[in-house]
A and B are shown apart, each in its own frame.
Chain A
Amino acid sequence: MSTTPSSKTTLPRRAFLQQTSALTLALYLPNARAGLVAQAQASNAANLEPNAFVRIGSDNKVIVIVKHLEMGQGAHTGLATLLAEELDADWEQIVIEAAPADAKRYNNLLMGPVQLTGGSTAMANSFEQMRRAGATARAMLISAAAAQWGVGTASISVSKGRVTHLASKRSASFGELATRAAEMPVPTDVTLKDPKQFVLIGKHAPRKDARAKSNGTAIYTQDIRLPGMLTAVVAHPPRFGSTVKSFDADAVLKIPGVVDVVSIGSGVAVLANDFWSAKKGRDALTVKWGEANAFKHDSAEVMAQFKMLARDPGAVARKDGDADVALSKASKVVDAAFEFPYLAHAAMEPMNCVVRLGRGECEIWNGEQFQTGDQAAVAQLLGIAPDKVKLNMLFAGGSFGRRANPVADYVLEAARIAQKINGRAPVKLVWTREDDMRAGYYRPMFFHTIKAGLNAKGKVIAWKHRLVGQSIFAGTAMESMMVQNGVDHSSVEGAQNLPYQIDNLLVDLHSPTIGVPVLWWRSVGSTHTAFSTEVMIDELAFAAKVDPVKFRLEMLNKNPRHAAVLNHAATKAGWNNRLAAGKPGEKRGRGIAVHESFGSVVAQVVEVTVKADKTYRVDRVVCVVDCGIAINPDNVNAQMEGSIGFAMSAAKYGAITLNNGIVDQSNFHDYRLINIAEMPKVEVHIMPSMKPPTGVGEPGVPPFAPALSNAIAAATGVRLRKLPLKLT
């Protein structure tokens, strides 16, 4: 069925440009390495290269090789800060280069032999590695200077990119010493600074990508253009699990610019010289789908099934004491149920990937988040060795977890298309917003019940938490690591480790298999566990007639970090002061929540105004974070601000629903994000700490929705336990 009209395969660009002056040729036909070059004007004069993370050239540039994806969270700047700190480099001389795929050198040290950006681990796993890399290079520069000047190494100091021998008033730049330093032995044990000596860590290092991202020169996958490249737009089935039965491409191939139409099993790809022709081709395509294994249920049916499952005990995630016995003795029992919809990541840059096939090798350009998984998947498809899959890690226009997929969905799709046309042209797969929204790999839908008992003194003596939802890890290569005794850790994180002191506590889990693909979504399990636990605690405080902050603090005696963060948030928000009244007809309220995820503890106080028409506006959010040492405090603030806005889109609007297996939402008009006018005032406070760093990319998300629900309850007396939070 697919055709290969040879006359159309090369580049008779039907649209060409007659320009009166210089649009440079490079811009019009960027060379094959445009993406790499644009992200790092890498120095070729690499004289000193003591390890996999730094190169210093005679041009005095310090190239820092970063192994983690920059998707907005600040990984490039953070990793470079660590290395530059111990190197005592000048921040201006630091240039970032994205690492290639190589798990031997660039694995995530918290994840074994796997190169992956995720779990808010970039700083935590690199904290020592990058500092050591910098200190090693520094030691070699000092040795070179000592040899050159004939002085002892102990008399040499380094500051802001200059190596100095004070006594003889001699000094040299890194560039001047690089060649000689490369001849020095690589030290195996270097001493790292005492945190008190830090000059970059904990201070303000401006983002290294700020310039490229404010003048339009930052290169994303969407911007890659290789000579002869074809753009592919794919017709995906309307339901998950469908396959291609047959297709009619006659009308498609008549569209100017369209080059080929190929079936890739899970869809039909239209290849054209440019996106718009490919999209027109896709719109003209007729496909018959095989629906024998298609998912044809409504999301409401799935929720009903979850509610049935929740009647029976599940796999036990944690059991302290005997919750049932304690509940039978309680003087007051509070019983609540919580509902969470599927959520799409909806990164601003819809998923895309560029693949070029060669002989026994392949090269990919991608906002690459999971090198090891993508390499393995593509290698298996092509029948080549994983190290023959070269990955160019570009900036990602957001991800929120979507660009790291254990089944490598969109990357494999791009590779399959390239394979189908026998690699005769590089292929750029572009998903439209609609494709992206409807492709699945959602935050799983969940149903929770919590039954808690108070004794006569208002103390919580029993807590029984049941969760029902799809496992993210079941069926993936990481199942054995993440699923134990029927419990997917990512389903119960945040619930299993409830920080409150409750003697009789049970957490159990059902993990039904549903034909809708699911994936981690910024803060993973904590997206739902923070909500149910922190709304429930608040509800219990009201039942016990105790202030919600005081109520929590009384149960946090064994978790001083949580207590300190909570206390600080309450203080900064003026928790004990009365909230100013709203306009006539408006009700105002304040709510609080605290939650630990990825080793960081975050508390937020939300102030809300509920209007007469039952809509609401979030006025102010006070956020306190304990993330260990704050490598770049301004970036910690930025991540908290952004997490609050991200969480607010989900809390206010977020829901992917299905009707007869078809996803109802398609674009931002029916999967809304908050805009600038809805963004509240945000105040972030960082707890001072000298402990090793934990994450900041995700932990700001979980406390927002429960704090908002608690604020709405304070304002109106109505407890919202179903997401998104709606009073109407």
Chain B
Amino acid sequence: MIRINVNGKALDFDLPPDTPLLWALRDTAGLTNNKYGYGMGLCGACSVLLNGTSIRSCSTPLSAVGSGKITTIEGLDDKVGQALQTAWRKLDVSQCGYCQSGQLISASALLRRKKNPSDADIDAALAGNLCRCATYVRIRAAVKDAAKSLA
């Protein structure tokens, strides 16, 4: 059994330790909102927070989580998470939406670190989260809008 903390709850997984966190969350825990897009850690659709930092769950083995706290979009209900989701809706950021959970996770990690990010900060923090619909213009605007509403 591997016990990890997901969205504030202890979950036990009877899985091989090399199982990627993504598939443990999706197929075993039923938390399907971090998405499979790439499998090698560069598209960002699978992003989750590990102690507040955005990581790629598709290439993070279950055994590497240890005592760290995992937050998925299902658990992104703090002030920063809510401000971002509100901004996302206000600006109609999402198109197909498949990557957006990952975008929101990475954006929340940024806003936790930096209250008033510049374009360059946003670009750097979200460069690993690809969006095939290219909603990037609105992602930038929504991150700024959320930052403003939190100020």
Chain A positions within 8 Å of B, measured between CB atoms, are 13-21, 23, 27-30, 71-74, 206-207, 209-218, 220, 222-223, 225, 231, 256, 274-276, 346-350, 395-400, 430, 432-434, 634-635, 638, 641-646, 648-649, 667-669, 673-677, 679, 681-682
Contact = CB atoms under 8 A, between A and B. Distances in A.
Given A23-B9, A274-B23, A638-B138, A16 B14 contact: yes
B94 A214 contact: yes
29 contacts: A17-B13, A19-B10, A19-B11, A72-B133, A206-B92, A210-B92, A210-B93, A210-B94, A211-B89, A213-B88, A216-B72, A222-B35, A274-B27, A274-B28, A276-B20, A348-B35, A348-B37, A398-B133, A399-B96, A433-B37, A433-B38, A434-B39, A635-B92, A642-B135, A645-B131, A645-B135, A675-B126, A676-B127, A676-B129
Given A214-B89, A222-B35, A677-B123, A27 B96 contact: no
B137 A679 contact: yes
A213 B38 contact: no
A214 B19 contact: no
Nearest to B58: A433
Contact of A668 (B32, B38, B126, B140): B38
Contacts of B85: 214-215
Interface residues of B, number: 66
B54 interface: no
Chief secondary structure at chain A's binding surface: loop
Contacts of A256: 16
A277 to B, nearest CB: 9
A21 B9 contact: yes
Contacts of B42: 667-669
B39 A395 contact: no
Contacts of B28: 13, 15-17, 274
Interface string B129-150: 1111111111110000000000
B38 to A, nearest CB: 5
B23 A349 contact: no
Given A27-B30, A349-B98, A679-B134, A206 B35 contact: no
A622 to B, nearest CB: 13
10 A-B pairs closest in CB distance: A645-B134, A397-B98, A216-B33, A213-B97, A72-B96, A72-B95, A216-B73, A679-B136, A213-B94, A677-B123
A699 to B, nearest CB: 15
Given A71-B96, A213-B97, A646-B132, 16 more contacts: A15-B15, A17-B11, A23-B9, A214-B100, A216-B72, A216-B73, A275-B27, A276-B27, A348-B43, A348-B45, A348-B131, A349-B37, A433-B38, A669-B40, A669-B42, A676-B122
Given A210-B88, A395-B96, A669-B42, A676 B26 contact: no
A214 to B, nearest CB: 4
A347 B132 contact: yes
Contacts of B122: 676
B57 interface: no
Nearest to A367: B96
Max count, chain A CB within 10 A of own CB: residue among B9, B10, B31, B130: B130
Interface of B: 1, 9-16, 19-20, 23-24, 26-33, 35-40, 42-43, 45, 72-74, 76, 85, 88-89, 92-101, 104, 122-124, 126-140
Contact of B39 (A28, A432, A681): A432
A646 B95 CA distance: 13
Contacts of B31: 27
Contacts of A210: 88-89, 92-94
B92 A638 contact: yes
Given A27-B30, A641-B134, A220 B127 contact: no
Contacts of A430: 36
A645 B136 contact: yes
Nearest to B2: A15
Given A673-B132, A679-B137, A18 B12 contact: yes
Contacts of A275: 23, 26-27, 36
B15 to A, nearest CB: 5
Nearest to B81: A215
B70 to A, nearest CB: 14
Given A17-B11, A638-B138, A641-B137, A217 B94 contact: no
Given A349-B96, A677-B124, A682 B137 contact: yes
Contacts of B88: 210, 213-214
Max count, chain B CB within 10 A of own CB: residue among A216, A231, A399, A676: A676
Contacts of A15: 13-15, 24, 27-28
B95 A215 contact: no
A674 B100 CA distance: 16
Contact of B133 (A21, A29, A209, A642): A642
Contact of B94 (A14, A207, A274, A668): A207
A72 to B, nearest CB: 3
A20 B10 contact: yes
A704 B28 CA distance: 44
B44 to A, nearest CB: 9
Contacts of A676: 122-123, 126-127, 129, 131, 136, 139-140
B97 A14 contact: no
A331 B29 CA distance: 73
A150 B76 CA distance: 54
A210 B131 CA distance: 16
Contact of A675 (B15, B128, B135): B128
